[in-house]
Amino acid sequence: MKPDHNHFMDRAMALAQEAMDEGNRPAGCVIVKDGRVVGEGRNLVYTAYDPSAHGEMVAIRNVAASLKTVELSGCTLYTTMEPCPMCCWTIIDCGISTLVLGGRHASMKRKGLGAYSVEAMLAMTERSLDLVTGVRQKECEEMRRNWKGWEAWQQRQK
């Protein structure tokens, strides 16, 4: 049975909205295994005073603790925004099988990441990951642009 990417991205977007409502960057993630949600996370950087509390990291920590393993093969991670290099490496290193993306840095014209993309990270590290792009992309990018800190954050990324 084909996974319902829109269904799981809807939940990730709801988590991103929660993060934004709390004063964090709008990023939400859902991790699915065998068709069911096994964990989720949202960006908590500003409210937790933790620069590593990106949505993907929070979700992976929650799932690893819940399943009592750091090996997450067979899992699919849905995220509203393309993961940064830190998060991308963690996704690769813990063995997540599939990454489903909403927004992309290149189309957002994000400054500060140079030529980075998930595809570039995979090529550089000679690792593999099933990648699904374009799921609710426009909506996810619009949410990021509507974040009240977007302009200031963009300026700091130069």
Which residues are catalytically annotated?
Answer: 56
126: left (phi over 0), alpha (psi -120 to 50) or beta: left
Distance CA(145)–CA(72), nearest Å, equals 31
Distance CA(97)–CA(128), nearest Å, equals 9
Query: Parallel, antiparallel, or unpaired for β 75-81 and 28-33?
Result: antiparallel
Q: What is the C-alpha end-to-end distance of the chain, expressed in Å?
A: 44
Distance CA(24)–CA(45), nearest Å, equals 6
Distance CA(54)–CA(157), nearest Å, equals 17
Amino acid sitting at position 111: K
